[in-house]
Amino acid sequence: MQNLTYQYDTGSTIKKSSGLHQLMLAHQSELAEVNNIPCFFWGNLTEPYTTAKCWSTIAKVVRSSFSPIPPSLRDPIVSAGAERLRFEGFSSCNGVYVRLDMQPEAIDGEFIASGTTNVDFNDPMLNALNAIQKNERVTLAVGQKEMQVITSKTKVIEKKVTLPTRWIKGLTSVQLYLVDMEQKFEIPKIQAIQLFQSLPRGVLKGDFFVSKRAGKFMFAPVPTPDSVRIGGVQRLRLLEGLLPLLDNIMVYESADRETCAFVCELGKMQLLMAFSPDNNRGFSGEGKVLENLTQNVPIEWIYGLNALLKSNEIFSPTLLSIEQDIDLGTMDQLTAGLSSIGLLGYDVAANNHFYRRLPFKTERILSLNPRLKNAKKLIDNDEVQFVQNTLGYIEALVKGSGVQHKVVIEADQQRCTCDWYTKYQGKRGICKHVLAVRMKREAGE
């Protein structure tokens, strides 16, 4: 599918009057029902200086690139609801994910509507944000609270933004990486500043590791049993502007030690930054997503959740499975599947999912997985044949290009004789042949 291009009818603005900054964030969504909402939130920021610094950090991320992909404009999205605001986005290279979680105490106002939408982060607005001083007052509107009348003499600023498919895919797949993470370190403010002061300068090749020795945190090129791997360590510099403001930093790592996340505690808000395995490898790969799309999510679930839950509400799989009489094992798969199509985010600090529907059509998100499409084609053409199909062991032959591939699934291990598996050894997710075998097995065919 082609990249998504959308257009703001007007830009975000920030004005100062009688010592009060008034910030209006223009929004836009591919979903008509969301795009037609004039305003989501209107109120005051209780910590405007810290909030402005966090937004500036988000702007740095969405306009950065650490791979050969050139940096370009990528506006963040915001989820409003459940007395919270969440801003999230990606770097142009899809290797850095950022999310600001604003607690109810960080904002004082009215939630007029619930939903998730793209918001305009333009240069004049960001420059004005950078000029905000401590103790200044700032009001925030996500959308236009009052209808504006446009006359022939009024200049309307239109802004087009193109989102590549990998950027949209990243917003779904990164949640599955976050679920797999565990906290490794909690670094107090002073030690965090000292750690970042020791961050190596320049463009560095190879991995670096955060470790703790004799009560002190440090970077090292050699791992220790309890260290956390950081690929592309220079990407951590995106957090430097927040160091004077934070309370502490919590460091998380995935079970395979490939990805990590830093969560900055900033009083009434948290800023999470997650990093892909290295500079040239983003979160937009299909691997994590495909692991959870072998079971179809009924379209009724999508509409049902949208009616039951508001953006940012905690999603409880256990409670929902009891209320809807769904098997807990099935619910686990559905939870992952819902994340894969952009309906759930994950809060590593709170250890729970939250509901938010990404501002893109569901069919667009599903179309971004060609391996899934190819796996379904293999099944429809009857090109998957089981040799052995028992509870703990599956062996199958799957038609390839002029050859038959052998797929073996044993317990949690799976392998295939295709070139994809040989090249990546499962590190880029399952191949279309393994996916087809799993889908056919789960369908009871």
Tell me if 169 sits within 8 A of 364, measured CB to CB: no
Are 238 and 292 members of one domain? Answer: no
Containing structural domain, residue 192: 172-275
Q: Are residues 256 and 296 located together in one domain of the fold?
A: no
Say if 282 falls within a structural domain.
no
Residue 156: what pLDDT?
Answer: 44
83 part of a folded domain = yes
Whether 135 and 194 share a structural domain:
no
If you search the block for the tokens 């619930």, which residue do you land on?
114
- Please indicate, yes or no, whether residues 10 and 106 belong to a single structural domain of this protein: yes
Residue 397 lies in a domain: yes
The CATH number of residue 268's host domain is 3.10.150
Q: Kindly state whether residues 214 and 241 are assigned to the same domain.
A: yes
How long a stretch of residues is the chain?
Answer: 445
- Phi, psi torsion values for 63, nearest 5 degrees: -110, 15
Given phi > 0 = left and psi -120 to 50 = alpha, else beta, which region is 239?
Answer: alpha
pTM for the model stands at 0.84
Q: Are residues 41 and 131 in the same domain?
A: yes
Tell me whether residue 338 is in a domain: yes
Q: What is the pLDDT of residues 81-107, one digit of tens each?
A: 999 999 999 998 889 999 999 999 999
Buried b (16+ CB within 10 A) or exposed e, 35-56: eebebbbbbebbbbbbbbbbbb
User: Do both 176 and 304 map to the same domain?
Assistant: no
Backbone φ and ψ of 368, nearest 5°: -85, 10
> Taking the CB of residue 280, how many other CB atoms lie within 10 A of it?
14
Same domain, 23 and 125: yes
Give the pLDDT confidence of 184-231 residue by residue, as tens digits: 999 999 999 999 999 888 777 778 999 999 889 999 999 998 999 998
Total domains in the fold of the chain:
4
* Residue 401 falls inside a structural domain: yes
pLDDT per residue as tens, the chain (445 positions):
567 787 887 888 888 887 788 888 888 888 888 888 889 999 999 999 999 999 999 999 999 999 887 777 678 999 999 999 999 999 988 899 999 999 999 999 999 999 999 998 888 888 888 888 888 899 999 987 654 433 344 444 556 677 777 788 888 888 888 988 999 999 999 999 999 999 888 777 778 999 999 889 999 999 998 999 998 999 999 999 999 999 999 999 998 888 999 999 999 999 999 999 888 888 865 455 555 555 556 666 666 777 778 899 998 877 777 776 767 666 776 777 778 778 889 999 999 999 998 888 877 777 766 677 788 889 989 999 999 998 889 999 999 888 999 999 987 788 999 988 888 776 666 788 988 898 888 776 5
Specify whether 323 is located in the same domain as 351: yes
10 and 118, same domain (yes or no): yes
- Do 101 and 12 lie in one domain? The reply is yes
Question: 11 and 115: one domain?
Answer: yes
- 361 in a domain, yes or no? yes
